[in-house]
Amino acid sequence: MIISIASGKGGTGKTTVATNLGISIDGGVQFLDCDVEEPDAHIFLKPRIKKTRVVSIPVPEIDESKCDFCGRCAEICAYNALAVLSDKVLIFPNLCHGCGGCSLLCPRKAIREVDKRIGLVEMDSGSKLQFVQGRLDIGEMMSPPLIRAVKESIDPTRTVIIDAPPGTSCPVIEAVKGSDFCLLVTEPTPFGLNDLVLAVEVLRKLTIPFGVVINRADIGDNKIESYCKENKIPILMKIPFDREIAFLYSQGIPIVQRKKEYAELFLTMFSLVKELSER
Amino acid sequence: MKICVTSQGDNLDSQVDPRFGRCDYFIFVDPDTLEFEAVQNPNTGAMGGAGVQSGQFVASKGVKMVITGNLGPNAFQALRSAEIEALTGASGSVKQAIEDYKAGRLQAGQGPSVNSKFGMQGKR
């Protein structure tokens, strides 16, 4: 099964939940860090990267000897990555989503596609927990194609854990799409609630079953709990605001390595997830 | 010679729009006779690349000079490639901006004056 961990708000503890869950499940886990703009699960899982693959997207290249500057390419580009002037065509590769429409529809066949590197997929050869992560190149903006490339390595025979990026836009949707269950990690603050509500709307649209994990559960107010109750959203785990947890995090040490009782808690959540995803 | 001023309204008394790619109107005006044409910007709602499209749009109108508040990196590149001079830092009414231009009070930027997505934040 595929479990994704998302949040809406950043910094609520997605990676903490994802890595500790991955370690608690005893074997047969594949961990995908799809937060490709800032992958950080490796800090806790300490993989030895064995395989690296370059990921590119196709961007247009114009043969100006064939082009008659008709402007069709700029017209059909939904992302405005091309501008056609009276005697030249400008390409803005950072705006290009690599759909290939321009080259397909060019009446003069003056456009060919060339690969533009956007980042890397890296993986280790771990057997108990196999680690895969995407790393978007600095300055690149187009993370969804890289997230797709990370997800190409999904091994359906394993329990797949996907650490998603924060937010509710394209990268998140790309990361959680196809999951059997999604854990939404939040915190009891106004920001946490605001962004949780947005994330819930996304998951309802995608018809992915989900539940909530409240991190730093003993601070702030109880509005998250009343929201979940009103909307019949299961709260699957609460993690307290604990100095020791914060300390371990700052050292890159998974909680379950030092506080064994947490492995039990994560496993309990895992069985709840399995149950809920089968409903 | 016609120039283009980005505007929040459709006449010369309107305020200059500080955004280029997502300005409300382009006013194409002869700075000497003040004869003008106001054209609604088709790119205000673009998801991205509004500066690119607006650059292509004003280039297609054959102007050689644009007066606006700010220019992002893509618009800057599009206008430079089209050999259109861009003066930034304009404010007040469109009429005032034309006066400022004629008096040499507006500067051509050496680079973009704002980052990408500046215009997404709406009017200021």
CB contact under 8 A, B52 and A86: no
The reported pLDDT for the residue numbered B107 is 84
Closest residue in A to B49 (Cα) is A80
Domains of chain A: 2-50+124-277 (3.40.50.300), 57-117 (3.30.70.20)
One-letter amino acid for residue A279 of the chain: R
For chain B, percent helix, then strand, then coil, each to nearest 5? 25, 20, 50
Residue B16: DSSP 8-state: B
The reported pLDDT for the residue numbered B113 is 82
**Confidence tier at B111 by pLDDT (50, 70, 90):** confident
Chain A residues close to B55, C-beta within 8 Å: 83
- Token duo for residue B68: 């606006």
CB contact under 8 A, A83 and B78: yes
> Comparing C-alpha atoms, which of A192, A175, A137, A206 is closest to residue A32?
A175
For residue B22, give Cα distances in angstroms to A109, B95, B123: 32, 20, 9
The reported pLDDT for the residue numbered B123 is 57
Residue A109: DSSP 8-state: -
C-alpha A75/C-alpha A77 separation (Å) is 6
Closest residue in B to A86 (Cα) is B60
- Token duo for residue B62: 């054959």
Domains of chain B: 3-121 (3.30.420.130)
CB contact under 8 A, B82 and A81: no
C-alpha A259/C-alpha B71 separation (Å) is 54
Other C-beta atoms closer than 10 Å to the C-beta of B80 total: 15
H or E stretch at A26: none
* Whether A6 contacts A164, CB under 8 Å: yes
One-letter amino acid for residue B68 of the chain: T
A83 in contact with B at a CB cutoff of 8 Å? Answer: yes
Q: Which of residues 92-121 of B touch A (CB under 8 A)?
A: none
Phi, psi (deg, nearest 5) at residue B7: -140, 155
Chain A nearest-CA distance from B49, in A, is 5
One-letter amino acid for residue B70 of the chain: N
* Whether A73 contacts A111, CB under 8 Å: yes
CB contact under 8 A, A90 and B48: no
User: DSSP readout, A31-57?
Assistant: EEE--TTS--HHHHH-----EEEEEEE
The reported pLDDT for the residue numbered B117 is 79
C-alpha A113/C-alpha A57 separation (Å) is 9
C-alpha B63/C-alpha B57 separation (Å) is 10
Chain B residues close to A82, C-beta within 8 Å: 52
Closest residue in A to B80 (Cα) is A90
Mean pLDDT by 10 residues, chain A (279 residues): 96 97 95 98 97 96 95 93 92 90 95 96 93 96 95 96 96 97 97 97 97 96 96 98 96 96 97 92
Q: Which long-range contacts (CB under 8 A, 24 or more apart) does B83-87 make?
A: B84/B55, B84/B58, B84/B59, B86/B20
* Whether A47 contacts A67, CB under 8 Å: no
Q: Look at residue B122 and tell me whether its pLDDT is greater than 90.
A: no
* Whether A59 contacts A114, CB under 8 Å: yes
- Sequence-distant (≥ 6) Cβ neighbours of residue A183 within 8 angstroms: A3, A4, A5, A6, A17, A21, A210, A211, A212, A213, A236, A269, A273
The reported pLDDT for the residue numbered B124 is 52
The reported pLDDT for the residue numbered B62 is 92
pLDDT in tens, A90-103: 999 989 988 899 99
- Token duo for residue A157: 């025979």
Q: Would you call A260 exposed, middle or buried from its count of C-beta atoms within 10 A (0-12, 13-18, 19+)? A: exposed
A70 in contact with B at a CB cutoff of 8 Å? Answer: no
User: DSSP readout, A261-275?
Assistant: HHHHHHHHHHHHHHH
Please tell me the number of Cα atoms within 13 Å of B65 on its side-chain side: 15
> Comparing C-alpha atoms, which of A163, A128, A160, A141 is closest to residue A39?
A163
Instruction: Enter the ipTM.
Output: 0.76
CB-nearest to B74 from A74, A88, A92 is A92
- Token duo for residue A136: 């978007």
Closest residue in B to A89 (Cα) is B81
3-state secondary structure of B29: strand
Please tell me the number of Cα atoms within 13 Å of B67 on its side-chain side: 29
C-alpha A111/C-alpha A7 separation (Å) is 41
